[in-house]
Amino acid sequence: MDEEMSEETSPLQQDLTCPVCQGIFQDPHLLPCTHSFCKECLQKSLQFNKKCPFCRKEFQEGQAIPNRALKSACETFEQTNRPKPIHSRPSEELCNLHMKPLELYCEKDEEPLCVDCVSLHNTHRLLSLKDGAPICKKELNFKIQIFEKKVESYKKMAHKFSNTVEYIKYQAGLAEKQIKAEFERLHKVLVTEEALRLKALATDEEEQIAKVQSQIEHTNKDIATLNELIDSMKKEIGNEDLALLRNFQNLKRKAQWISLEPSLRYDGLLDMGKHVGSLSFNIWKKLQSHVKYYPVVLNPNTASPWLYLNADLTGVKESSERLTAPDNPERFDPCVFVLGAEGYTSGKHKWDINVGDNPKWIVGVCKESLVRKKKFTVSTNRGVWAIALSKGVYSVLTAERKELPVQQRPEKIRIKLNIDKGEVSFWDAGASKHLVTLTHKFDEEEIFPIFGPGLHSTPMTLASAKIAVHTS
């Protein structure tokens, strides 16, 4: 059969054969004389001369062009006449090493084997394909179950991500509304201040102009009087000599002028320094009475879902129901805490908290790495330096709870944090009385204010600090 096929295809094969290498054309190139050769054969021929290897006709280098039609015919011929592999049974796979059917399965190496591979796996457990397939299927089914659980978990996370997007939009809307309201409030203050300053300017302008107008009136009156005097004297001068001389002393007495010369008043212009000097600074200074400064504000992203924060993040109290909020990593849940918005790694810091008559609270500082997603005992061992009120007893939350003696109930707690010195001190801010100081050698981890207002409706609020303008 092969011989017959060879004879039948030999004319075509002859047409597709390179005259130089006597093989099927590989990347054939056509010369101007219409003869074709393999690209590699033609390059080798060019090393000797620039003549066609078949007809010996000369050509220039670069005149040979790819013969795409002939190349396509050669590729089709090779694909059609490529010998097919011989298998004992069409459906069987053969061992790459021994070319025998794969009939066994190695449990250790997890691969199929032929009978001649047994010597290479003599210490391994070998199974028939029928027994090995269920083991692999079982393991794959177990993997499928794991992946299916992961798919469900991923779907839940995708849902949480979608909720987070909506919550971010809600936060942005809330912040935008508050920003606009605050700017509108400050704008009203500025408009009022502008009106007051323009009114003061107009009043000053009116007063100064009125004073100058009064001077103008007096000056005009003096001018009229002087003109009358001049006319009178000119008339007397025109009289006869004897009459002039007899009246001369009287005329001389009338010719006396005792009024002061008119002149511009001192401070007669507008005081420009008063109205526009350091204008923006003076306006800013005036705004102090309309602006509050808080050394610490709360971070709503850390707040327990059972805590409600006011709009300017300076007050916190228990929520009557669990609030809807993303379960982000920094949020406390189930513990009912909230952190300050800013952490510290160095320097001195101070803030006051109004605890009022709250029956239960915790205030202090903590490490950023404090556990958020499970209950824990608040103590210095956990990275929390705090004091607390519970059941009428004030305590210092060290590893061994220590009662804090308090003579009168403090309504405002002051916390002073000196990281460089390693001190956290607590004060009764109302009585300016020191309560206790905790010491610790802080590392480079950020330290945050922490607040636990307890589960009651009375809010815990942060006190604003005094603002002072210093110039140098």
pLDDT for 84: 54
Please report the pLDDT score of residue 346 as a whole number.
Answer: 95
CB under 8 Å to 335, separation ≥6 — which residues?
304, 372, 374, 375, 376, 452
Domain residue limits, the chain: 2-80, 174-290, 300-462
Q: 388 near 380, Cβ under 8 Å?
A: no
Which pLDDT band holds residue 83 (cuts at 50, 70, 90)?
Answer: low
Instruction: Give the C-alpha separation, 472 to 457, whole Å.
Output: 47
**Per-residue model confidence (pLDDT) at position 6:** 44
pLDDT of residue 380 exceeding 60, the answer is yes
Query: What pLDDT score does 86 carry?
Result: 46
Which pLDDT band, with edges at 50, 70 and 90, does 320 fall under?
confident
CATH of 300-462, one of 2.60.120.920, 3.40.50.720, 3.40.50.850, 3.40.47.10: 2.60.120.920
Q: Which amino acid is at 286?
A: K
Token match 């929520």: residue? Answer: 319
DSSP code for 381: G
Taking each helix axis from N to C terminus, what angle separates 279-286 and 129-237, rounded to the nearest 10 degrees?
Answer: 120
Strand 423-428 and strand 433-439: the pairing is antiparallel
- Please check the confidence at residue 469 and state whether its pLDDT lies above 80: no
Q: Which of 161-165, 267-271, 465-469 has the lowest mean pLDDT?
A: 465-469
432, exposed or middle or buried, with CB in 10 Å at 0-12, 13-18, 19+? exposed
For 74, other C-beta atoms within 10 Å of its C-beta total 23
Q: What is the pLDDT of residue 90?
A: 42
The DSSP-derived string for 337-375 is: -EEBS--BSSSEEEEEEE-TT-S-EEEEEEETT---SS-
This prediction has a pTM of 0.66
User: What's the Cα-to-Cα distance from 284 to each of 184, 189, 280, 292, 466, rounded to whole Å?
Assistant: 16, 11, 6, 13, 15
Q: What is the mean pLDDT of residues 81-97?
A: 63
Per-residue pLDDT for 456 more than 80?
no
* pLDDT of residue 88 exceeding 50: no
Residue 202, CA distances (Å) to 18, 208, 215, 271, 283 in order: 108, 10, 20, 12, 18
Contact at 8 Å (CB) between 96 and 111? no
Tell me the average pLDDT across 337-353. Answer: 96
What confidence score (pLDDT) does residue 454 get? 79
Average pLDDT, the chain: 89
Instruction: Please write the tens of the pLDDT for every residue from 33-48.
Output: 998 989 888 888 887 7
Handedness of CA 39, 44, 50, 53 (dihedral sign): negative
Per-residue model confidence (pLDDT) at position 206: 95
Closest CA relative to residue 419, chosen from 398, 397, 447, 396: 447
Give the pLDDT of residue 4. 41
Q: What is the pLDDT of residues 226-268, one digit of tens each?
A: 998 898 888 888 888 888 888 888 888 888 888 888 888 888 8
The Cα–Cα gap between 112 and 129 comes to 8
- Paired strand residues for 144: none
Q: Pick the closest to residue 438 from 366, 377, 332 (CA basis).
A: 366
Checking if the pLDDT of 75 tops 90, the result is no
Q: Which phi and psi (to 5°) does residue 310 adopt?
A: -75, 170
Q: What pLDDT shows up at residue 5? A: 41
Q: How confident is the model at residue 432 (pLDDT cuts 50, 70, 90)?
A: very high
pLDDT bin (cut points 50, 70, 90) of residue 16 is confident
Using DSSP's 3-state secondary structure scheme, residue 330 falls into coil
Residues facing 105 on adjacent strands: 112, 127
pLDDT in tens, 129-183: 999 999 999 999 999 999 999 999 999 999 999 999 999 999 999 999 999 999 9
Angle ∠(77,78,83) on CA atoms, nearest 5 = 120
Q: What does the pLDDT look like over 210-226, one tens digit per residue?
A: 999 999 999 999 999 99
pLDDT attached to residue 20? 83
CA distance 399 to 68: 87
* Terminal Cα-to-Cα distance of the chain (whole angstroms): 109
In this structure, what token pair is assigned to residue 266? Answer: 């001192």
The second-level CATH assignment, the architecture, of 2-80 is: 2-Layer Sandwich (3.30)
Which H or E element spans position 425?
strand 423-428
Question: What is the pLDDT, as a whole number, of residue 92?
Answer: 58
Per-residue model confidence (pLDDT) at position 42: 85
When comparing pLDDT for 98 and 154, which is higher? Answer: 154
Q: What percent of the chain has pLDDT over 90?
A: 59
Please identify which residue in the block is written with the tokens 């909720």. Answer: 163
pLDDT for the residue numbered 8: 47
**CA gyration radius, the chain:** 52
Q: Span 187-209, mean pLDDT?
A: 95
Taking residues 443-472, what's their average pLDDT? 87
pLDDT for res 260: 86
